[in-house]
Amino acid sequence: MRRHRSYLNLGMGACLSAWIAAAAADSPSVHVYNWYDYIGPTTLKDFKRDTGIMPIYDTFDSAEILESKLLTGGSGYDVVVASNFSLPTLIKAGVLEPLDPAKLPNLKHIDPELLAKLASNDPGNRYAVPYMWGTNGIGYNVDKVRAALGEQAPVDSWDLLFKEENLARLSQCGVALLDSPSEILPIVLQYLGLPPNSNNPDDYQKAEALLLKLRPHIAYFNSSKFITDLSNGDICVAVGWAGGMLDAKANAVQAGNGVRIEYSLPKEGAPLWFDTLVLLKQAPHPAQGLAFIDYLMRPEVIAPITDYLRYPNGNRSATPLVSAETRNNPAVYPSAETMARLFTLEPLPKKTERIRTRVWSKVKSGQ
């Protein structure tokens, strides 16, 4: 999953790089690999201040880059932020070191319900702890959707998009989907009453048939453009990550352009994803790696990261420390009833992945 914000915090990145270069000499260190702009503005400095360990910090912008680097071996990293659907591949390849709970005293703060969901990708919760998590759902322009479909527009249902009569009307104001078969096709399968992580080729033919029927009404498939377009009013509906939709909403408010954006998790169910902290088996500094993981599980450390990123963390004890605006927003922290309807994504066998890729290519081309 791509976890970027809708703007690039270049100033913070430049200052951070200069600080790391100046402070690295003669310090015990930990080498960290994380998604771009996916940590608090002062978290790394605070870690150095509080522990005396110097974080050497690199970033990536796709799960494919991460997996390729780790599976090749010899990355030199200690701690990596890996998405939940990458975990089975990394575990099977022997890339990850099991975590020792005795060396992670702050593990007690992690929400056991989230750990239970994560166990579908990390059986027994042996290798990973939640860092941030989130959902994929529908971001929509309140006024344009009402103008197209009326006051009773089914914004709480995938019917908003997957019923052709609705999508045809919404196409007049613009609809965008993530360019991600691994995230969109499970949603379509779930909507059709099929297993979202299906290995049955016939199920993908059914998903393909529905999407090809809808394709003429979809403006584009893109995993970043929708954020700006939604906030500017250039499209009226998008399927994407909760954090991206909240960025679009915040940008529209800041611009004062009158665009009202809301985010919905459809009642039929939606994907739940995790970005997790893992320790590499070949970590050159395993003790410092565990110290870094444990530090990020401190409630007072992770709460401000959530406020900055607009993604919920996996730390139950941190929730009271998160700003009321963030923790009371159901788009960030879904209700227990909503959580029960969410499903995790799983890696598929290569044969099924090839089927899914072919389906996606046909859908995007409309042929």
Read off the pLDDT of residues 119-154 as tens digits, 9 standing for 90 and up: 999 999 999 999 999 999 999 999 999 999 999 999
260: CATH: 3.40.190.10
CA–CA separation, 355 and 150 (whole Å): 38
Indicate whether 176 and 260 sit together in one domain: yes
CA–CA separation, 364 and 199 (whole Å): 21
Indicate whether 130 and 158 sit together in one domain: no
The predicted-structure confidence for 306-316, as pLDDT tens digits, reads as follows: 999 889 999 99
Indicate whether 359 and 228 sit together in one domain: yes
- Within a domain: 1: no
- Conformation bin of residue 360: beta by default, left when phi > 0, alpha when psi is -120 to 50: alpha
26 band by pLDDT with thresholds 50, 70 and 90:
low
Indicate whether 99 and 244 sit together in one domain: no
Indicate whether 163 and 228 sit together in one domain: yes
Structural domains in the chain (count):
2
Residue 46 burial by Cβ neighbours in a 10 Å radius (0-12, 13-18, 19+): middle
CA–CA separation, 245 and 259 (whole Å): 13
- Within a domain: 5: no
Indicate whether 148 and 219 sit together in one domain: yes
The distance from CA 108 to its chain's CA centroid, rounded to whole angstroms, is 24
Indicate whether 112 and 152 sit together in one domain: no
Which has the minimum average pLDDT: 14-18, 102-106, 107-111, 307-311?
A: 14-18
Share of the chain above pLDDT 70, in %: 93
- Within a domain: 164: yes
CA–CA separation, 273 and 128 (whole Å): 13
**SS3 state of residue 106:** helix
Indicate whether 24 and 66 sit together in one domain: yes
Which has the minimum average pLDDT: 14-23, 201-210, 280-289?
A: 14-23
Indicate whether 125 and 143 sit together in one domain: no
Indicate whether 164 and 212 sit together in one domain: yes
- Within a domain: 281: yes
- Within a domain: 4: no
Indicate whether 183 and 99 sit together in one domain: no
- Within a domain: 267: yes
* Domain residue limits at 210: 135-271+346-365
